Homo-oligomer: A and B are copies of this chain.
């Protein structure tokens, strides 16, 4: 607590810390990011290993100590992030701020209230912290392209998935009537579940048709599914293809003569008015 006051009094120290925590362009800033990344990955592995009962019995104490070390580090990091930033609210209510908070609180609650299994899931939210590190990598440009391609085809994919769902509900009901509870199709929701498993070509095999008619309908569903899988692929593919050809062939440069904004990369003259294009 003293430390916080100390930091606030010495703005230079606070600015320096700010650059280490939020920046990645100094040597210390990079080191901080790498240490944080390793701790995040370790904390996730820890959650996973704790769930394996044989390990949990053997290494219970070690897990407990490691859990607390990580929690305390994350808590300190969270407090430092708040005190070094100028407008703490911007951080606290941002996506990463909430994720950072959620990745520390469960451990405290388990400590005070007693271990509830439910907090395990919230602890898994720590993984979202990995995205923080990704921010600095060169992949972000790529991921934004992918996300924009997915966003552009959102409407088409929604209507497609909705159509798939309706097919599953109708054929699921049909399969329930044909196969019936005696062949494992106990009720309609279960039949619809089977239908989704089949149409998406997952095919667990826990439930499968046993009557000739049921198998005939299943064959029909599978062949349709095989032909239909092309649709989302085609949509996203076309979207990405368009993005690519746009990114490659077009340079965003405004012609001073006519105001035309998109030109081929190789163009020397404006394709609209014939004026020579000057980079400056």
Which residues of A are interface residues toward B (Cβ below 8 A)? 44, 47-48, 51-53, 117-118, 120-121, 124-125, 127-128, 130, 138-139, 142-143, 145-146, 149-150, 155-161, 163-166, 169-170, 173-174, 176-177, 181, 186-190, 192-193, 196-206, 208, 212, 215-216, 218-219, 222-223, 225-227, 229-242, 244-245, 248, 260, 262, 266, 268, 271-273
Q: Distance in Å from the Cβ of A118 to the closest Cβ of chain B?
A: 7
Once the chains bind, are B142 and A188 in contact (CB under 8 Å)? no
Once the chains bind, are B232 and A166 in contact (CB under 8 Å)? no
Q: Distance in Å from the Cβ of A190 to the closest Cβ of chain B?
A: 7
B residues near A219, Cβ cutoff 8 Å: 192-193, 196-197
User: Which of B51, B166, B197, B273 makes the CB contact (< 8 A) with A188?
Assistant: B51
Q: Distance in Å from the Cβ of A252 to the closest Cβ of chain B?
A: 13
Copies of this chain in its oligomeric complex? 4
Beyond A128-B166, A157-B230, A234-B241, list 4 extra A-B contacts (CB 8 Å): A51-B187, A202-B225, A235-B240, A241-B242
Once the chains bind, are B222 and A196 in contact (CB under 8 Å)? yes
User: Which of B118, B139, B272 makes the CB contact (< 8 A) with A159?
Assistant: B139
User: Which of B157, B204, B206, B260 makes the CB contact (< 8 A) with A227?
Assistant: B157
Q: Given A219-B193, A223-B164, are A234 and B233 also a contact pair (CB < 8 Å)? A: yes
